[in-house]
Amino acid sequence: MNLREQIRNPNPSRQVRLKAFLLQCEVEYQALADALGISKGALCDVFSGRRPSPKHIARLIELGIPAELLPEPPAPRFPPRRP
């Protein structure tokens, strides 16, 4: 299934909506990766949800990517230490 068919789907996935947003706004993956200081492959991992770093997600939101199109960063594994 190509991207057009995926977009026409009545319930496109978050990743398809993200790709459509980036295409519509003419945003290149490499430009976003450079802004984050990571590789293009690492950015794809962030977008897919394999490596959704809270720092990277926050920076993408600052750059204008809607939060609902980005994966949820994982909850911290350990509770914060109390002083």
CA distance 16 to 20: 6
CA distance 59 to 56: 5
Domains of the chain (ranges; CATH) run 12-67 (1.10.260)
Tell whether the model's pLDDT for residue 3 goes beyond 80. Answer: no
Judge contact between 68 and 18, C-beta under 8 A: no
Q: End-to-end alpha-carbon separation of the chain, Å?
A: 53
pLDDT at residue 6 greater than cutoff 70: no
Whether the model clears a pTM of 0.85, i.e. scores above it, the answer is: no
Which pLDDT value is given to residue 35?
93
Q: How far is CA 76 from the centre of its chain?
A: 19
